[in-house]
Chains A and B, each alone.
Chain A
């Protein structure tokens, strides 16, 4: 059974801090790893990673995948209160379905 573990489960920081969110996984025939941001509604797509060592970047957010060690990190620099959300990591294996982690609840205080 595919498994995704995210850490920490929750995190409280101040505006301007840099945070690193972790995602480790076990999956049969890894295809891709996806990061999402979920506020009060449905998840918003952030990144999809398929290859090790290639950083994906979008503004203050970046992510990288290590397929040898089976993990990914999501970095957010210069955090803002608008970054407060649950960040979900999901992996897709040979059955093409996404398996989600429980998420990391990030709270950014002013």
Chain B
């Protein structure tokens, strides 16, 4: 099946700094990538959808200036958490699908656990 990787798997940063998380589709080209966050014992919450070469579409309540998403190529999307605060500590997961429309299987990366101190 399709493989999605994320880097880093775990990061600890100080409050006020920025953190970049990379998401790559390893064996397929992903026209659409999704970024989720998950709090303990809760389900996945979609943050934004990114299509290669265009601006990301953010879900209601997600600050686009705080969570910068760049989908520079068909195999790479990045999420940058700017000026991180302790409340941004969470599990961030990217996901990719081919074609970007319904009917396609959607695969998840292994996730990045962010801790802001």
Contacts and interface: CB of A to CB of B under 8 A. Distances in A.
Interface of A: 31-32, 34, 36, 41-45, 48, 50, 88, 92-94, 96-98, 100-103
Given A48-B105, A92-B102, A98 B110 contact: no
Nearest to B111: A42
Given A42-B93, A43-B108, A98-B34, 16 more contacts: A31-B101, A31-B103, A32-B103, A36-B108, A41-B110, A41-B111, A43-B44, A45-B106, A45-B107, A92-B106, A94-B102, A96-B100, A98-B95, A98-B106, A100-B44, A103-B43
Interface of B: 1, 6, 32, 34, 42-44, 46, 49, 93, 95, 100-103, 105-111
Contacts of A102: 42-43
B103 A50 contact: yes
Contacts of A48: 105
Contacts of A44: 108
Contacts, number: 51
Minimum-distance CB pairs A-B, first 3? A31-B102, A42-B111, A42-B108
A95 to B, nearest CB: 9
B43 A101 contact: yes
Q: Chain B contact residues: over half helix, strand or loop, or mixed?
A: loop
26 contacts: A31-B102, A32-B102, A34-B106, A41-B110, A41-B111, A42-B6, A43-B44, A43-B93, A43-B108, A45-B105, A45-B106, A48-B105, A50-B103, A88-B43, A92-B102, A92-B103, A93-B102, A94-B102, A96-B32, A96-B101, A96-B102, A97-B46, A97-B49, A98-B46, A102-B42, A102-B43
Nearest to A103: B43
Contacts of A31: 101-103
